[in-house]
Amino acid sequence: MNSDPYAWIEKSLDTIRRAHWYRSPQKIDNCPGPTVQLAGRKLINFASNDYLGLAGDQRLIQAAIAATQEFGTGATGSRLIGGHRDLHRQLEKAIAKLKQTEDALVFSSGYLANLGAIASLVGKRDLILSDQYNHSSLKNGAVLSGATVLDYSHCNLNNLTAKLEQNRTNYRKCLIVTDSVFSMDGDLCRLPQLLGLARQFNCMVLVDEAHATGVFGASGAGCVEHFGCTGEALIQVALSAKLWEVWEVTLPALLL
C-alpha cells in the first residue's frame, strides 16, 4: 500500500494530461467586452456569459465605485445574522416586479442559487425529476438536497409521465427541475406541458431561466413570460446580471 494518501492526485493529473483534458486559467489583459487581449493577441470572446455587454459598462462601473464608497466592500457576514443593505431589497423587488412573482431572493451567483433553492425545497423523503440535459448546477443541487433523483429523457414528456406514474406516490414531495433554454443545445423546455403534469401529479416546478432572461418574453422576463405562464405556481432562477440594464439597477446590489 502506498504510504502517501495524496499520491493519487498526481496520477489523476497525469491521466488528464495524457487525454488532453488538462486546462489552466489564461490571463486576460483588458476590460470585459466582446474581444479579449490574450498573450498579446486580440481575440473574439466566445466564452463569456456577459451577453448584454454590461460587465464593462461605464455606468455600472461608476455606480459600483459610488456604492462601495458608501457601503463598503462586503456585508461582513450572514444576511440573517448580520442584516442586509437596502440595496438588496431594492434589487429583489425589481426582480419580482419584472418576473411578476410574489418575491425574489438574490444569491451571489446563479450556481449558488440553484444549490440553495433546490436544497430548501426537497430532502431525503422527496423525489426530483430532472431533464437529462440540465445544467450541472441543477444536477449538483439535486444531489446535495438528499432527495432521490431520476433523470428523464431530454424534453420527453412521455418518459417524464411514465416516471411520475411509477414513482410519484412513493415520495412525500416531488420537484420537476429543468432549464428553460438549454445551455448547450439552445432548445426550449415544454413549460406549459410540464406545468400541466405538475398539477396532475401534485409536483413543484423549478425552471432555470439563466439563458432566457433578457432574451425571451415581451418584457425580457424569460420563457415563463414567452409561454404565457406568468402567475403560475413555480420557482424561477435567473441571472440578475442580464436584468440590470432592463431595470437600471446598479451592480453593487450583488456585490455587497
pLDDT over 70 at 248, yes or no: no
194-230: pLDDT as tens digits: 999 999 999 999 999 998 988 899 998 999 999 999 9
106-117: pLDDT as tens digits: 888 889 999 999
β-sheet bridge partners, residue 237: 208
User: In the prediction, which pLDDT does 247 show?
Assistant: 39
Q: 121: how many CB neighbours lie within 10 A of its CB?
A: 18
The string of DSSP letters for the chain reads: --S-TTHHHHHHHHHHHHTT-------B-S-SSSEEEETTEEEE--S---TTS-TT-HHHHHHHHHHHHHH-S---S-HHHH---HHHHHHHHHHHHHHT-S-----SSHHHHHHHHHHHH--TT-EEEEETT--HHHHHHHHHHT-EEEEE-TT-HHHHHHHHHHHGGGSS-EEEEEESB-TTT--B--HHHHHHHHHHHT-EEEEE-TTTTTTSSTTS--HHHHTT-TTSS-EEE--GGGTHHHHT--THHHH-
Who's near 36: CB < 8 A, 6+ residues apart? 28, 29, 30, 42, 43, 45
The fold of 82-255 is: Aspartate Aminotransferase; domain 2 (3.40.640)
pLDDT over 70 at 253, yes or no: no
Match 450556481 to its residue by C-alpha cell.
111
The pTM of this model reads 0.84
Q: What percent of the chain has pLDDT over 70?
A: 92
- The span from the first CA to the last CA of the chain, in angstroms, equals 49
What ranges do the domains of the chain cover? 7-44, 82-255
Q: Provide the pLDDT confidence category of residue 2 given band limits of 50, 70 and 90.
A: low
